[in-house]
Amino acid sequence: MGRAVLRPFSRKRPRPLIALNIHPTEKRWFFVAVLLVAVMIGLVVYTAVAMSVHPPSNVEAIDSTRLHLTPEFAEENLGVKREKDGAIVARVVMARYMVHPQEIRLPADTPIVLRAASADVLHGLHVAGTNIATQVVPGYVSEVHTRINFDSVAKIGIQNGDGSVTVPLFCNEYCGLGHQSMWGRVIVTRK
C-alpha cells in the first residue's frame, strides 16, 4: 500500500491560461501611441484655453437663396449694430465673390457677436490677427462670440491716423475662380 501524498497548499503559482509575451518593440510603440494621444489632447486644450480656438457650436438654419428677403440679412441691416440689450453684433453676407459689407468697424476688447451667412456656396470667414475664423455654410448662420485683442491686430494691421487699425477679412475656403478677390476690411477701434 503506497503512501498518499497530500499537497493541499502547493507553492507553485497556477499557470496563466494565455501566456502574455509582449515583444519589447511592441511595448515601446504602445507608449509612443499613448504619448501621441496625450500630446494631441494637450494641443486641443492648449489652443482652446490659450488661443481661444473653439469648435463651432451654433446651429441655425436659414434659406440661403432668400437672404436678401430676411429681416436680418437684408442689405440695409448688414454691418455693425448695437442691439437693444447692448450687444455689438456684426452681420456679414458672403457671396461669390464679395464680402458684404466691404468694411466694418468693431471696437477692441469688447464682447462682440459676428453673424455670417452665405448666399451661395461654402465660404470661410477669417479676420487676420483675431480668432475669428469660421466656415460659412450655405443654409446655416455662422455665429462667433469673441473679443478682439487690440495689440494682436495692431501687430499686423495698418495703423490709421485716428488710432484705429485696419485688418483684412477674407474668405479662406476655396469657393470658385474668384475666391482670391473675396475680402473686406475690419477697422478695429480702441475701446
| Interface segment toward ligand CUA; rule CB under 6 A; list 39-47, 51-59, 149-157, 174-182 | 174-182
The answer to the question of residue 123 lying near ligand CUA (CB under 6 A) is yes
| DSSP letters for 113-145 | EEEEEESSS-EEEEETTSS-EEEE-TTBEEEEE
> Between residue 56 and residue 95, which ones bind ligand CUA under the rule CB under 6 A?
94
| DSSP letters for 156-170 | HSEEPTTS-EEEEEE
Q: How many CB atoms lie within 10 A of CB 46?
A: 11
CB-wise, 163 or 176, nearer to ligand CUA? 176
Of the candidates 34, 56, 46, the residue with the CA atom closest to the CA atom of residue 132: 56
Length of the chain: 191
CB-wise, 125 or 165, nearer to ligand CUA? 125
- The DSSP output letter for 26 is H
The answer to the question of residue 106 lying near ligand CUA (CB under 6 A) is no
The answer to the question of residue 117 lying near ligand CUA (CB under 6 A) is no
CB-wise, 124 or 157, nearer to ligand CUA? 124
Smallest distance, ligand CUA to C-beta of residue 21, A: 55
| Interface segment toward ligand CUA; rule CB under 6 A; list 29-37, 149-157, 166-174, 183-191 | 166-174
Burial group, residue 2, by CB count within 10 angstroms (0-12, 13-18, 19+): exposed
CB-wise, 47 or 181, nearer to ligand CUA? 181
The answer to the question of residue 175 lying near ligand CUA (CB under 6 A) is yes
Smallest distance, ligand CUA to C-beta of residue 190, A: 30
β-pairing, 103-107 vs 183-189, is parallel
Site string for ligand CUA, 27-46 (x = CB under 6 A): --------------------
| DSSP letters for 40-72 | HHHHHHHHHHHS---------B--GGGGGGSTT
- Contacting residues toward ligand CUA, per CB under 6 A: 94, 123, 171, 173-175, 179, 182
